[in-house]
């Protein structure tokens, strides 16, 4: 069957980055000295034709093993009828070749594998009725959340590290049992959470006096303060849980991510549904509950029928990265003080509301981060946007002004970003080549900038525009993830995770949250130092 380019009902494909040249320039090289041979795929096939239909199973194998992007599969359907007509293969004989390839790639994903046929069909409809859209949803979640890979979480006064094999370590402050070791004693070195042996952890979240761990089976274990939402020094949550306990109210929800704010907790299911605990007494998250409610409530409103791939919790608001057939988008809900919801105002939102500015910027959000009072997004093209309260320069725009809608960080125009992390008036950006930039509040040396040779210099100075963290260049490792403290009550510390699984820490370490002993009455570490834990 010949490759054809049908036009009926098919959008025109635009090819970019191809320099226009005169025809004479393209054919200027003489070819008469070469013998021209006509290529034949099989026997007596007509020259110029490629008989894809001769062995479609091989074509399907190639599409699947090459891990084509869902957009590429869609383009194949748009340009060649072979890829959009029924392929007559199991498990669904009516599916096109591109749809089958997408389904095959979905079946390789760890989150998709344990789903029942009914659950898979529900997810397909939720994503827009196409396996290509399901594949895009799954890939987007993997890209922004480091699922099934090692990670480190710099919580408020304590830290969690998870190896690529799912082993969880904790260290630092432990006044509420948030380390999960059965005690309330501080730990100055990474210590494995022994009670979780045999359970593979894939995600972690740390909040004020509280920790949540998520297994590859979608189960959630929580320890520390027993309330799902309160201020750090509030009157609720006085009971402490010192060992990981299965959250029974979530046992019927396959959870893939958790985010802990100061007044609420949110979890994300593998189908892309968002559930919240607490902070509903005034309907702040679209439902009425008591502040210490331990029952999850689905987040109502615009996101009820839109799959979400990532959630991020600030002090008093929640961001959700959604995957729609038209593209990626960001929704916000909660407290609008400082403009951190991104809608051009400072009013609260009781239900999730689309941040429209990204459409005006022609930016496809890929990673979202919610700091205590400001937020950031990385786009598919590598641009970084920030908005919210700009105190100490945490937005990176060269001043301390608030921005009520996302604004591109012009100082990073020559950097292709792949990751962003936010804290309490602090922001970190990781580029595609592993360089790290930081800006914002310089307290506790958590920005990683050291002026002179003795490591003192400007390490506590606020930084209004992005600066390269040169101290991380010296570790001779490619950085893939940054995590920093996101709390108004604790001095910040920062983790830098490298491609090879090495973990480097700097910033406040007075409670052991850096995973290392400090000497001579030191309370912080200015230069990145490797933590004695292997996260490979």
Residue 62 burial (CB count, 10 A)? 11
Arithmetic mean of pLDDT over the chain: 87
Indicate if the pLDDT at residue 97 is higher than 60: yes
Mean pLDDT of all residues in 291-308: 87
Instruction: Name which of 77-91, 195-209, 333-347 the model is least confident about.
Output: 77-91
Whole-model pTM: value is: 0.87
Before 91, cis peptide (omega within 30)? yes
Evaluate whether 140 touches 325 at the Cβ level (below 8 Å).
no
* Cα 279 from Cα 283, distance rounded (Å): 8
pLDDT at position 229, please?
60
CA 229 to each of CA 183, 236, 474: distance values in angstroms, whole numbers, following the listed order = 22, 9, 40
Model confidence band, residue 418 (pLDDT cutoffs 50, 70, 90): very high
pLDDT at position 40, please?
44
Residue 238 burial (CB count, 10 A)? 11
Instruction: Name which of 42-56, 142-156, 440-454, 503-517 the model is least confident about.
Output: 42-56
Q: Which of 528, 323, 529, 330 is nearest to 428 (CA)?
A: 528
Model confidence band, residue 504 (pLDDT cutoffs 50, 70, 90): very high
* Cα 506 from Cα 523, distance rounded (Å): 11
Mean pLDDT of all residues in 349-377: 97
Evaluate whether 244 touches 223 at the Cβ level (below 8 Å).
yes
Instruction: Name which of 13-22, 462-471, 484-493 the model is least confident about.
Output: 13-22
Q: Which of 159, 181, 292, 288 is nearest to 238 (CA)?
A: 292
Indicate if the pLDDT at residue 236 is higher than 80: no
**Residues 6 or more apart in contact with residue 232 via CB below 8 angstroms:** 156, 208, 209, 262, 487, 489
Mean pLDDT of all residues in 506-534: 93
Evaluate whether 439 touches 427 at the Cβ level (below 8 Å).
yes
Indicate if the pLDDT at residue 14 is higher than 60: no
**Residues 6 or more apart in contact with residue 158 via CB below 8 angstroms:** 170, 171, 172, 173, 174, 178, 179, 206, 211, 511, 513
* Cα 432 from Cα 343, distance rounded (Å): 29
Mean pLDDT of all residues in 77-100: 89
Domains of the chain (ranges; CATH) run 56-143 (no CATH), 145-227+240-451+458-530 (2.130.10.30)
The H-or-E segment that residue 374 falls in is strand 374-379
CA 222 to each of CA 182, 293, 336, 352: distance values in angstroms, whole numbers, following the listed order = 13, 15, 29, 26
Mean pLDDT of all residues in 420-442: 96
Residue 230 burial (CB count, 10 A)? 23
Model confidence band, residue 66 (pLDDT cutoffs 50, 70, 90): confident
Percent above pLDDT 70 for the chain: 85
pLDDT at position 238, please?
61
Cα–Cα–Cα angle for 114, 117, 122, nearest 5°?
100
The span from the first CA to the last CA of the chain, in angstroms, equals: 48
* Cα 191 from Cα 197, distance rounded (Å): 13
Mean pLDDT of all residues in 35-64: 64
Q: Which of 164, 93, 99 is nearest to 135 (CA)?
A: 99
pLDDT (tens digit, 9 = 90+) per residue, 519-528?
888 899 999 9
Mean pLDDT of all residues in 50-58: 73
Model confidence band, residue 292 (pLDDT cutoffs 50, 70, 90): low
Mean pLDDT of all residues in 40-47: 48
Mean pLDDT of all residues in 473-487: 93
β-strand 436-440 against 463-468: which pairing, if any? antiparallel
pLDDT at position 460, please?
81
Percent above pLDDT 90 for the chain: 68
Evaluate whether 535 touches 193 at the Cβ level (below 8 Å).
no
3-state secondary structure 318-340: EEEEEEECCEEEEEEEECCHHHC
pLDDT at position 233, please?
43
pLDDT (tens digit, 9 = 90+) per residue, 177-221?
999 999 999 999 999 999 999 999 999 999 989 999 999 999 999
Q: How many CA atoms lie within 13 A of 275 on its CB side?
A: 22
């Amino acid at each position: 069957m010949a490759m054809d380019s049908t036009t009926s009902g098919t959008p025109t494909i635009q090819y970019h980055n191809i320099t226009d040249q005169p025809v004479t320039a393209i054919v200027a090289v003489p070819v008469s000295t070469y013998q021209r041979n006509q290529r034949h795929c099989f026997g007596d096939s007509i020259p110029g034709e490629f008989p894809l239909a001769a062995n479609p199973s091989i074509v399907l194998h190639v599409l699947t093993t090459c891990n084509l992007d869902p957009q590429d599969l869609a383009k194949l359907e748009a340009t060649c009828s072979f890829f959009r007509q029924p392929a007559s293969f199991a498990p669904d004989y009516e599916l096109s070749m591109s749809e089958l390839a997408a389904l095959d790639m979905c079946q390789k994903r760890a989150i998709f594998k344990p789903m029942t046929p009914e659950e898979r069909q529900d997810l397909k409809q939720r994503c827009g009725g196409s396996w290509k859209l399901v594949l895009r949803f799954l890939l987007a979640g993997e890209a922004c959340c480091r699922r099934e890979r090692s990670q480190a979480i710099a919580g408020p006064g304590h830290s969690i590290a998870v190896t690529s094999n799912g082993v969880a370590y904790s260290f630092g402050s432990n006044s509420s049992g948030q380390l999960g070791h059965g005690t309330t004693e501080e730990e100055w070195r990474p210590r494995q959470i022994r009670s979780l042996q045999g359970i593979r952890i894939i995600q972690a979240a740390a909040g004020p006096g509280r920790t949540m761990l998520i297994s590859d089976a979608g189960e959630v274990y929580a320890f520390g303060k027993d309330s799902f939402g309160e201020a750090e020094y509030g009157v609720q949550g006085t009971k402490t849980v010192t060992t990981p306990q299965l959250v029974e109210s979530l046992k019927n929800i396959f959870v893939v991510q958790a985010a802990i704010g100061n007044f609420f907790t949110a979890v994300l299911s593998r189908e892309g549904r968002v559930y919240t605990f607490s902070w509903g007494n005034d309907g702040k998250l679209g439902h009425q509950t008591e502040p210490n409610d331990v029952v999850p409530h689905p987040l109502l409103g615009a996101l009820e029928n839109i799959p979400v791939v990532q959630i991020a919790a600030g002090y008093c608001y929640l961001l959700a990265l959604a995957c729609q057939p038209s593209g990626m988008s960001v929704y916000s809900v909660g407290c609008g003080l400082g403009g951190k919801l991104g809608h051009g105002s400072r009013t609260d939102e009781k239900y999730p509301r689309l941040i429209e500015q990204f459409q005006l910027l022609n930016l496809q959000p890929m990673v979202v981060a919610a700091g205590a009072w400001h937020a950031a997004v990385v786009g598919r093209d590598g641009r970084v946007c920030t908005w919210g309260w700009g105190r100490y320069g945490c937005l990176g725009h060269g001043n301390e002004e608030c921005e009520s809608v996302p604004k591109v960080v012009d100082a990073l125009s020559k950097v292709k970003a792949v990751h962003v992390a936010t804290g309490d008036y602090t922001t970190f950006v990781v580029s595609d080549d592993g360089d790290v930039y930081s800006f914002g509040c310089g307290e506790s040396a958590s920005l990683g900038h050291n002026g002179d040779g003795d490591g003192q210099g400007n390490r506590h100075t606020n930084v209004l525009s992005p600066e390269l963290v040169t101290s991380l260049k010296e570790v001779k490792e490619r950085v893939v993830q940054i995590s920093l403290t996101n709390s108004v009550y604790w001095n910040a510390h920062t983790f830098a995770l490298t491609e090879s699984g090495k973990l480097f820490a700097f910033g406040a370490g007075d409670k052991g949250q850096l995973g290392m002993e400090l000497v001579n009455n030191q309370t912080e570490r200015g230069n990145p130092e490797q933590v004695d834990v292997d996260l490979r």
